[in-house]
Chains A and B, each alone.
Chain A
């Protein structure tokens, strides 16, 4: 082909970025990325579905760089590199995912070199991991919160529990100071004003509020769908008892009065993130906010009435085998981005 030159000024090239090119091309380093190998990933989640998920975090984020090659729900999947992936074929040949894997087993597999990337939960007692392993961490994007069911109509009960929880003790002891204490739905790094929402324990005020509540209404069941959150739920139950609420933590069932759950921030835009959280928690859709002040007002409105009680924002944390290069493979939002990862070639 014969190409016609495009006259232009030097200055233009210097000042105008070629963003598409930057996004498409991963820059290599002094040691060039090595093609080949399988990345072995372990996760806690299991998928009882006949086909690979198309939406949601993690697995659905692997395409288009990697395409599902084998789907053995609920425990095992293989995704293989797509030669025609945008930005070029990934360096890895494949990603093998073991699902439904307990966190403790994941840590052992990482230490034994049987896994390359495993989840590390802040609520797990801190083990003494192999010093050579690395950690990848997202921003605090996992919101841990209490969500009341419709049956608890008395706002004094909801507010009393919000005041009774000793977030600081849970953060220091059970969460080992990972993430942030939060009274807001949006984390501080995203909103800039999360500190405006109160987080201090006030058991005396909680008791005052409950004094006017009939004793029969002071017995509540707390659903805990995720066993990893059980120890936090037990501590909340203790705090509640001190304030005069009989709260019993149990695995989630349909009659739980409230639940301790985790939801994820999925957008870097604070207004969108708030709308997404509201939808996930079945709260009214907040108005689109065009300023931090308007966003604060919208978030405050969602929290009025204590239907939801934010507790903590936690990061997504992964243990990483040292043979992985090209990382981090986790974005600040906790998304999987494995297309630029590569594995150290075996030494001859």
Chain B
């Protein structure tokens, strides 16, 4: 499934790169400096010297400061004024300052007993740039958007993006499709979404299922996006790689699974509430790891009987894969921490009921808000980029060579 979308990240990156930048400020520091210089020249009188004292109390750097200063001095000359420290007719104090929305150039100018204050301003612009984090595991950015993202999946011919308000299908560029085109289908939740909303997508061929708290949707992307949603408490399908899965009931008004689970063998159990689940192999036996709500990671056997508690400190989200590394299928885990901390995903193998790191952490540009198995040796990580505030979907693939 992943192989079919290999070319997308590059195409998407190119698409994002060529987007036009946001609107620029109507005026800049040069304009502000020129405005004040003209007033200063008029105030001082033609040909009279002005002593100018500058300071910078803003967050702007020395180059912007020097630029404003040069613009002021040039405009002062143009306006008939003259800079001079000896016997000046006027003394001007110029301060480069700022408030929450604007930069300010503030001038206090005195000529004899007369004092004037002028303030010229221009809008603050520029968002922090997207920085490319170091890559350790094979991770690829496949989509980003400003609305929160819950999951992405890869049905035939495109990418599905699950957001709180809608499901979006993006069809890839190619023959018959001159550019990336999308279709959306909105959700109408039967009750307000919970605060830490979670959702999960499963795609098979051209069909898909979307699981949301208290709601299940199914549909197809071919010939066009169609979706049928209904209020439902039916369990979510939690895949771990492409071979094992678990059915788990989600607590509709919370952010966790309530503990009612069904294994592939048909065994049903009621466990303690948990956030996520992943299967691993240890010496040929399937084990389930559950990231419990109480912060522990518990190990269960194939019949979902508790076996041990893992000593590792992991985050709330884990995902299983089919990759064959270190003798068994590894598990991907987020790191513990709160929303202010950057996050990472790391691959572990389970040996003697203990977690052994297989890779260095794949650093991500913000907290991982969702991590779902994507089949095969890959998982999807949704990250809220701390720098831009945007939500980014990454595929994280374990390569064992």
Contact = CB atoms under 8 A, between A and B. Distances in A.
B19 A26 contact: no
A212 interface: no
Interface residues of B, number: 80
Contacts of B180: 10
Given A31-B295, A190-B100, A268-B100, 12 more contacts: A18-B163, A27-B384, A28-B196, A29-B368, A32-B315, A91-B195, A192-B99, A193-B97, A292-B99, A292-B104, A296-B119, A348-B294
A25 B193 CA distance: 9
Contacts of B193: 24-25, 88
B367 A27 contact: yes
B200 to A, nearest CB: 14
Contacts, number: 212
A345 interface: yes
B296 interface: yes
Contacts of A292: 99, 102, 104, 106, 119, 121
A21 B147 contact: yes
Residue of A32, A84, A193, A348 most packed against chain B (CB within 10 A): A32
Contact of B185 (A4, A17, A21): A4
A293 B144 CA distance: 41
B6 interface: no
B188 to A, nearest CB: 7
A contacts with B: majority SS: loop
A56 interface: no
A5 B338 contact: no
Given A15-B19, A192-B99, A3 B185 contact: yes
Nearest to B273: A35
B32 to A, nearest CB: 11
Contact of B317 (A9, A13, A30, A195): A30
B170 interface: yes
A29 B337 contact: yes
Interface of A: 1-11, 13-18, 21-22, 24-35, 83-91, 188-193, 195-196, 268, 270, 291-293, 296, 325-326, 339-340, 345-348
Contact of B227 (A3, A24, A29, A347): A3
Contact of B334 (A14, A30, A89, A195): A30
B186 A3 contact: yes
A14 B181 contact: no
A28 B19 contact: no
9 contacts: A6-B184, A10-B181, A29-B337, A30-B341, A31-B338, A190-B99, A191-B99, A192-B106, A293-B117
Interface string B163-191: 11110111000000001111111101001
B145 interface: yes
B286 interface: no
B339 A27 contact: yes
A268 B100 CA distance: 8
B95 interface: yes
Contacts of B275: 32
**Lowest 7 CB-CB distances: which A-B pairs, in order?**
A30-B315, A88-B195, A192-B99, A18-B147, A32-B316, A30-B334, A29-B367
Contact of B196 (A4, A88, A291): A88
Nearest to B192: A88
A292 B98 CA distance: 10
Contacts of B118: 293
Contact of A192 (B98, B186, B229): B98
B99 A340 contact: no
Interface in B313-358: 315-317, 334-341, 343
Scoring A25, A31, A34, A90 by chain B CB atoms within 10 A of each residue's CB, the highest score goes to A31
Contacts of A325: 338
B119 to A, nearest CB: 4
Interface in B114-153: 117-121, 144-148
B99 A5 contact: no
Contact of A35 (B254, B337, B343): B254
B5 to A, nearest CB: 15
A87 B195 contact: yes
A112 to B, nearest CB: 24
